[in-house]
Amino acid sequence: MWKSLVLASSLSLPVSADPIDFATAKVFDLSHAYGPDTIFWPTSPIKFEHKELSYGETAGGYFYSAYSFCMPEHGGTHMDAPIHFYRGGDTVSDLALENLIMPAIVIDVRAQAEADRNFRLDVANIEAFEEVYGRIPSGSAVLLATGWDHFWPDVKAYMGDDSPGDASKLSFPSFGAEAISFLVKERGVKLIGIDTASIDYGKSKDFPVHQIVGRANIPALENLKSIDELPPKGATLIALPIKIKNGSGGPVRAVALVPGGAGK
Ligand SMILES: [Zn+2]
């Protein structure tokens, strides 16, 4: 049973956010489920493995089920900790909760991505967004909605290529390096996230966006879903990764709370 809990009072959020009324807020699930069809980077040595340890009636007369799972940190809906591309950056277990719970800005580039699957967000796109919705507040998460989650789990459509072990022919939209430098330096963004496989576009060979956010000690979310259903501003993101000691990232259950159920 949900009561009118006030989340903002129990956390020191980086920007002033209105209290969240859990009785009326709509909750969006931003994570894909892990299973046999979970998409991993083409060079990933293994995918998601889920093995049955027990399933059925026990000698004690009660039912019991349990499984083991094994997977690379970076696959499915997951978080990149800053150390992923920056030696000395925070590991996933270092990240403070204040860096995982914050107001979210959603930039919708579905039209641009549909027209060009190699689209990269640039500073002009951010300026166009701010002209309509106002300046992106310091301490926000910026989520980029490309609509790519609707291709999931079709690897060829989602990644642009499905050659096993070969990451040289990938093609999907994402952030651009100049846009990320602007968001980090000029807007004080605390987290970025996207509904494609990477915060660098598919054709990238040197992953500048990963390097920039790593250096700035900013975590990133990849393979999100349903962010195109969120309003451009007003949502609160809660993205809690599995707390792997000294991990470079890991699976995350990400949700967004939208006051009064005001989605799109
Ligand atoms: Zn990753």
pTM beyond 0.75: yes
Over residues 150-169, mean pLDDT? 97
Q: With contact defined as beta carbons under 8 Å apart, do 241 and 220 qualify? A: no
- For the cut 60, the answer to whether the pLDDT of residue 3 exceeds it is no
- Report the separation in Å between the CA atom of 74 and the middle of ligand 1, taken as the mean of its atom positions: 4
Over residues 131-139, mean pLDDT? 97
With both helix axes pointing from N to C terminus, report the angle between 208-215 and 177-185 in degrees, rounded to the nearest 10. Answer: 10
Over residues 195-222, mean pLDDT? 98
Q: Cα angle at 261 between 260 and 264, to 5 degrees?
A: 125
- Report the separation in Å between the CA atom of 131 and the middle of ligand 1, taken as the mean of its atom positions: 31
Distances (CA, A) of 186 to 15, 61, 118, 139, 181: 16, 62, 25, 11, 8
Rg of the chain taking only CA atoms, in angstroms: 19
CATH 3.30.300.30 fits 7-46+74-261, yes or no: no
How far is residue 210's CA from residue 232's CA, in Å, rounded to a whole number?
Answer: 24
Who contacts 234 (Cβ-Cβ below 8 Å, separation ≥6)?
103, 258, 259, 262
- Report the separation in Å between the CA atom of 40 and the middle of ligand 1, taken as the mean of its atom positions: 10
Q: With contact defined as beta carbons under 8 Å apart, do 125 and 109 qualify? A: yes
- Report the separation in Å between the CA atom of 110 and the middle of ligand 1, taken as the mean of its atom positions: 22
- For the cut 80, the answer to whether the pLDDT of residue 98 exceeds it is yes
And the tokens for 100? 């995982």
- Report the separation in Å between the CA atom of 101 and the middle of ligand 1, taken as the mean of its atom positions: 19
